[in-house]
Amino acid sequence: MGKVDTNLRNPELLPTKDKDRDISIGDFTMLWAGMTINMGAFTMGAQLYPDLSPVAILLAILVAYLMVTSILILTGDIGLVYGLPFTVYIRKCFGYKGANIPAIFRLIPACFWFGFQTWIGAVALDMVMNMWIGYSNITLLILLFGALQIVNAVFGMKAMAKFDWIAIPSLVILISAVTFWLLKINDATIVDVFAAPSTGTGSFWFAVMGIAGIWITMGINSPDLNRKLKRSVDHSSDNFFIRNRKPIVAQLAGLVIIGAGTLLVGMIGGILTGTWDPVEIIANSITTPVILLLSLLTILFAQWSTNTAANLMPAAYVIVNAFPKLNFAKGVMAAGVIGLLMMPWVFADNLLWFTVITSGLLGPIAGIMITDYHLLRKRKLDIEEFYTIDGQKSFNTKGFIAYGVSFVLSVLFMDYAFFVGFAVSVLLYYVLMKNEVAPKQVSDLDKQIEKMYKEIS
C-alpha cells in the first residue's frame, strides 16, 4: 500500500461497496427523466427559434443528445465497474491536488443551473400564491424552494429517485396537456409548427453545442450516478455493451426521448407565443384557473426533479473533495447557497452562450477522462492508487497542457467548441501521456474496496 493521505480518503468518495449500490434500473431511468424535464431545456428550445427552422432544431436536438449519451456511457463505466466518483478519477488525469481546478469548472455550471432552476420554480410558485392568497414575494420563495430541494438532496440518490417516481409520470401528463392546450388556443397543429418560417441566420452546430452544453456537465459526472446502480449478473462482463446495457437503456429513454420531447415542447411554446419564458407563456396563454394552477405546479416540480440529481449532487462531491472534512450533506448545503448567491437569473437572456462556453470548458475534461480510462489504462485500474500519494503527482502538468490547449482552440472555433475541444483533448492527452500510463488491475476488486473501508474505520 502506498503512503496514505487522509485528505484523499473522505468516506463519501471511497469506491462504492456492492451493498450500497441500491439504485434499480427503474430508479435510474426516473432519475434521468427527472433531470431532463426542466425549464432550462424548455427555454433553450424556445430560444433556438427563429434563427433555425423547427426541422433543423429537431435534428440539432437528436445529434446533441446522442452525442452526450455516448459520452455518458463511456465515462459512466468508471463508476459502474469501479465505483469511483468523477472527482476521484480525475486525480490521475490532473494530479491529486490539481484535480480541484477542473472540478471547480464543473462546480460553476452546477451551481448556476441550481440557482436558475430555483428562480423559475419560485416565479411559478409566486403566481400560485398570488392566485390563492394574493401574496407575492419572489425572494422569499427562492429561499424556501431552494431549501426544500437541498433537504431532498441531502438524503441521497435514493430519496431523489423516490420523488421522481411521483413527479415524472405527473409531469409527462401535465406537459402533454399544456402542449395540447397551447396548440388548441392558437388554432395550430404540429404540422403547422414545423412549417413555421425561420430567418435561417442561426448556426446548426452552434445550436448542437448549446444543447449539448446543458448535459456535457453530467457527461463527466456519469460515474457518480452509475456507481450507485444495482449490479446485474453480467456486471463483470468483458463486453462493454453487455455490462452497460442498463445505463444505455435508461439514458436512451430518460435523456434522448424525454429530453428531446422537453426541448421540442419549448420550441412549440416559443413559436406559438414569441417568448422563451415558460412562466410568461403559461400565464399569457392559459386563462382557466385550474389548468393554469396545474401548469405552474408542473414548472415547480420540473425544477425540483432536475436540481437534486443534476446540480446539487455533482456540486456536493466537488466541494467534499476540496474540503475533505465536510460530509455529503454539508456539501449539498454549500452548493445550494453558492447557486443562489450567483443570482443566475440575471443572465436568463444569454443561456445559449452560457451553455456553449460550458461545453468548451467541460468537453476537454470528458475527452481526457475517456482517453485516460479507455485508451491508456484499457479500463484496468488499481483503485488503491487513487487514494494514496505514492506514485501520484500533485499536479499533472501534461494533463493541464492538454486541457488548456483544447479549451483555447474551442474558444477560437466557437461554433464547433465542443467538437474541437473534445477531439484535441483526446489526441493531445494521448500523445503526452502514452508513455506514462499503463493498465493495472488487482485480482479481487471487492476485497480491495472492503480493505479500504476497514482502514478508515
Residue 287, pLDDT above cutoff 60: yes
Mean pLDDT of 355-384: 91
Distances (CA, A) of 252 to 30, 31, 58, 181, 260: 12, 13, 16, 28, 10
Residue 330, pLDDT above cutoff 80: yes
* pLDDT, position 276: 67
Task: Identify the CA nearest to 190 among candidates 284, 265, 258, 256.
Answer: 265
* pLDDT, position 411: 84
Question: What whole-number distance in Å separates Cα of residue 39 and Cα of residue 405?
Answer: 34
**Which of 288-297, 319-328, 367-376 has the highest average model confidence (pLDDT)?**
367-376
8 A C-beta contact, residue 131 and residue 289: yes
Percent of the chain with pLDDT over 70: 94
* pLDDT, the chain, mean: 85
Question: What whole-number distance in Å separates Cα of residue 1 and Cα of residue 450?
Answer: 14
8 A C-beta contact, residue 448 and residue 455: no
| Type of residue at 315 | A
The widest CA-to-CA distance across the chain, in whole angstroms, is 70
Residue 407, pLDDT above cutoff 80: yes
Residue-wise pLDDT for 138-190, tens only, equals 999 999 999 999 998 888 777 777 777 877 787 777 778 778 878 888 898 98
Half-sphere exposure of 434 (CA within 13 A, CB side): 6
